[in-house]
Amino acid sequence: MEDRIREGKAAGLRTFPCRGWEENNAWLEAVLAAADLVCWAKLICFAAMPSLARREIAAFRYRVLQVAAQLTRSARRTCLRIDCAWRWPPRSPKASAACA
């Protein structure tokens, strides 16, 4: 329980940005939805990488959500081109060959 509270504070629950009840209520709902989405992404998408799935929300956001990449579409194929200068490049040879 304390871990979820700590992650919620890191996601934006530390302070409320507005003075009014309605605005702060909307802020609370948005932050809780974002924290839930990150938790589900950790459980579903990163089950094969437990070291990344156990990260705190700030480290997870830094490692996963802030990736310098470009989504391109060519010849009916969608490709995610990850910047090779990224600190944690993809490990598979096929993904490394796709670096821009």
Provide the percentage of residues in the chain whose pLDDT is more than 70.
85
Q: Which helix (H) or strand (E) holds 95?
A: helix 93-97
Distance CA 46, CA 33 (A): 19
| Cβ-contact 34, 12 below 8 angstroms | yes
71 with 55, same domain: the answer is no
24 with 57, same domain: the answer is yes
11 with 26, same domain: the answer is yes
Phi-psi region for residue 70, left (φ > 0), alpha (ψ -120 to 50) or beta?
beta
Looking at the structure of the chain, the number of domains it has is 2
Provide mean pLDDT across the span 23-37: 89
50 with 97, same domain: the answer is no
Whether pLDDT at 95 is above 70: no
19 with 43, same domain: the answer is yes
CA distances from 21 to 9, 18, 89, 96, 98 (A): 19, 8, 44, 49, 48
Residue 77 corresponds to which amino acid?
A: R
Q: Residue 88's pLDDT band (boundaries 50, 70, 90)?
A: low
What confidence tens digit (pLDDT) does each residue in 70-85 have? 888 888 888 877 777 7
17 with 34, same domain: the answer is yes
pTM tops 0.85, yes or no: no
Q: Which helix (H) or strand (E) holds 73?
A: strand 69-74
